[in-house]
A and B are shown apart, each in its own frame.
Chain A
Amino acid sequence: MGLEAKLQQDGFITTTIDSIIAWARKSSVWPMPMGISCCAIEMIAAADPKYDLARFGSEVMRFTPRQCDLMIVAGTVTYKMAQVVRRIYDQMPEPKWVIAMGACTSSGGMYRSYSVVQGIDQFLPVDVYTAGCPPRPENLINAVMTIQQKISKTRARDFQDQPFDNTIITNN
């Protein structure tokens, strides 16, 4: 399968720079585990040996946003926490993606209340929503795979000339 098969043949491949960069990006999506409440447990489960997120190149959960390109928001985001989530998101280098994991992050879930943000898309650009309370690890893996499909369609120049925007960080 894959590249090894090519070794039996001529020993080289032809491709485009865009597609090889997209391939490299999608095969090493490093998540920022924004585990805020119960959904985080399932996120941890997705990384454990049984479900093994490493199969998709996403096992390196980094606890610093500066080394991540995928933010998994797993848990109930309150208005107070929204400031923190956004600040961490702003610290991630481009290009970056966001998974809204679970009912709470997608829509407020069962917390139809004054303190909970009714959907994190009010302040974050979300790429994939994951249903469930909590979503099963398979569902999170499916979300990561969807992100991978999304990345594979990108071109390298899509992310050029995006200067780092630090206005929001300082305004907080």
Chain B
Amino acid sequence: MEMKELIVEKLKKNFGEFVQEVTDFRNDLSITIASNKIVDVAKILKEDPELEFVMCKDVTAIDWATRKNRFTVVYHIYSFKNNITLRIKANIAEESPAIESVTSVWPSANWYERETYDMYGIVFKNHPDLRRMYMPEGFQYHPLRKEFPVLGIPGSLPLPGKI
């Protein structure tokens, strides 16, 4: 497809080898980029007059458990102009996982990043308000990490008072 080639071409022109992988599976274009370039990539994709990916639909993460770069942060963005959804991925390492926040580009990423932080413990740097989304404040763990037991850690969530 012409539009997809244009996207890849533009990114490759701007970021060279920072574009690590491009896959187009079942008409879903996914682009893996170096995690330190995420905000720059986001800016280009949003502000380029031919692309205009103005909507950030989702930010989430994958815990690969055994890989060297344990986490992958996944962004789904959408262009009304071209009616195309694009997936951006960035691999990050296990030790103190962190990535720059894209809230400066897409304000809607705010709560998605909070959720991803809550569930995976990935820190989004320069996020305006990085608090937990679902779990109570003060909770120690990140439930969607692979090592977290399904039934939780006994005693980690307080129950109210005596009966």
Contacts and interface: CB of A to CB of B under 8 A. Distances in A.
Interface of A: 79-80, 82-83, 85-87, 90, 112-115, 117, 122-125, 167-168, 171-172
Contacts of B153: 114
Nearest to B163: A125
Contacts, number: 48
20 contacts: A80-B135, A82-B159, A83-B160, A86-B161, A112-B150, A112-B151, A113-B150, A114-B153, A115-B134, A115-B143, A115-B157, A122-B159, A123-B160, A123-B163, A124-B163, A125-B163, A167-B161, A168-B160, A168-B162, A172-B160
B149 A114 contact: yes
Interface string B89-113: 0000000000000000000000000
Contacts of A123: 159-161, 163
A45 B143 CA distance: 36
Contacts of B80: none
Nearest to B161: A168
Contact of A114 (B150, B158, B161, B163): B150
A113 B159 contact: no
A100 to B, nearest CB: 13
Nearest to A167: B161
Interface of B: 134-136, 143, 148-153, 157-163
A122 B161 CA distance: 10
Given A117-B159, A122-B159, A123-B159, 7 more contacts: A83-B160, A86-B160, A90-B161, A115-B152, A123-B163, A168-B161, A172-B161
Contacts of B157: 79, 114-115
A71 to B, nearest CB: 14
B160 A87 contact: yes
Contacts of A167: 161
Nearest to B143: A114
A114 B152 contact: yes
Contacts of A172: 160-161
Contacts of A114: 143, 148-153, 157
Contacts of B160: 82-83, 85-87, 123, 168, 172
Nearest to A169: B161
Contacts of B136: 79-80
A115 B136 CA distance: 10
Contacts of B161: 86, 90, 123, 167-168, 171-172
A122 B157 CA distance: 13
